């Protein structure tokens, strides 16, 4: 019996120590390989103090009026998110944004290891650099894992961040883990990403975009996040979309609505809770 108990304790400790290998799923590249792919995709390296931190796509005519910082989802790497550039720099939206794709430590060609601390530090530094370099309004766009990074990092620098868009969001890692591993106790997680607690103090507008058929970040979690947020908010639901099938087409009316909400709504603490039905998204 003592031997079995010892083995179980050993397995538990091992799983606790290596759990990040089961949380983060980066695609790794060396920098020369990534730069060649970036050139093909129309992206430029984004550097901080001479070190690679992601990719940038300045607005084509150089006359951007704002910056969008993309905090991407869990799988792959930032270089795979050029659909955000194609969307937010489309002439169909009548907006003018420089676009920045932050790479997380341990993803793509960026050195390091992914963890809550390293991802949040990277986001904090990126927001600070954008504010110092451009002095333009900053919008954060978080996707899946990036929604909790955005919510926490944006709430830490509310004077720098004009607003946030959270795509396929969830309120914290513990409730998401419970959806997929109901036997896992919350205390077991080393990284928690308590975005719902952090976002409560953010004074700017927050747009929530939920996929109605999402099986990775179930829509109920996004709705709970939205309902629990006491600030300036609007909700869009794309009823027939899955986690990875949001329609990133500038011709869909809701993108214009989202950008208008984030750029024009006053940045002050207030209650705004208008829910858009799926019919609005047609």
> How many domains, in total, are found in the chain?
1
User: Which pLDDT tens digit goes with each residue over 16-47?
Assistant: 544 456 678 889 999 999 999 999 999 999 99
CATH of the domain at 242: 3.40.50.1820
Q: Would the pLDDT of 272 be above 60? A: no
Q: Which distant-in-sequence residues (6+ apart) come within 8 Å of 73 by Cβ?
A: 143, 144, 145, 146, 168
User: Do 44 and 57 contact (CB within 8 A), yes or no?
Assistant: yes
User: Which pLDDT tens digit goes with each residue over 191-248?
Assistant: 888 999 999 989 999 999 999 999 999 999 999 999 999 999 999 999 999 999 999 9
What mean pLDDT do residues 173-195 have?
Answer: 79
Q: Would the pLDDT of 11 be above 50? A: no
Q: Would the pLDDT of 266 be above 90? A: no
Domain span including residue 107: 2-281
**pLDDT attached to residue 276:** 52
The pTM for the full model equals 0.88
Lowest-confidence pick of 4-8, 69-73, 157-161, 166-170:
4-8
pLDDT-derived band of residue 187, with 50, 70 and 90 as boundaries?
low
Q: Which of 121-125, 129-133, 173-177 is the most confident on average?
A: 121-125
What mean pLDDT do residues 156-182 have?
Answer: 91
pLDDT-derived band of residue 189, with 50, 70 and 90 as boundaries?
confident
């Amino acid at each position: 019996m003592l031997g079995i108990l010892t083995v179980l304790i050993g397995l538990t400790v091992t799983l606790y120590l290596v759990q990040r290998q089961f949380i983060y799923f980066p695609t790794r590249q060396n920098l020369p390989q990534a730069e060649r792919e970036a050139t093909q995709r129309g992206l430029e390296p984004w550097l901080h103090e001479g070190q690679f931190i992601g990719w940038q796509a300045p607005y084509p005519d150089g006359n951007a009026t704002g910056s969008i910082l993309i905090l991407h989802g869990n799988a792959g790497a930032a270089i795979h998110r050029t659909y955000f550039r194609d969307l937010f720099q489309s002439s169909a939206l009548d907006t003018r944004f420089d676009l920045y794709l932050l790479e997380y430590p341990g993803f793509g060609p960026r050195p390091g290891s992914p963890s809550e601390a390293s991802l949040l530090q990277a986001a904090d530094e990126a927001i600070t650099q954008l504010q110092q370099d451009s002095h333009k309004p900053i919008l954060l766009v978080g996707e899946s894992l990036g929604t909790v990074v955005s919510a926490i990092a944006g709430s830490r620098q509310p004077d720098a961040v004009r607003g946030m868009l959270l795509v396929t969001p969830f309120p914290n890692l513990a409730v998401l883990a419970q959806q997929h591993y109901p036997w896992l106790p919350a205390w077991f997680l080393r990284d928690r990403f308590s975005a719902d607690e952090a976002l409560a103090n953010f004074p700017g507008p927050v747009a929530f975009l939920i996929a109605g058929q999402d099986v990775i970040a179930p829509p109920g979690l996004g709705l709970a996040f939205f309902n629990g947020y006491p600030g300036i908010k609007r909700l869009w639901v794309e009823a027939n979309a899955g986690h990875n099938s949001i329609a990133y087409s500038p011709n869909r009316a809701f993108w214009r609505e989202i950008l208008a909400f984030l750029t024009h709504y006053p940045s002050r603490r207030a209650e705004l809770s208008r829910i858009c039905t799926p019919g609005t998204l047609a």
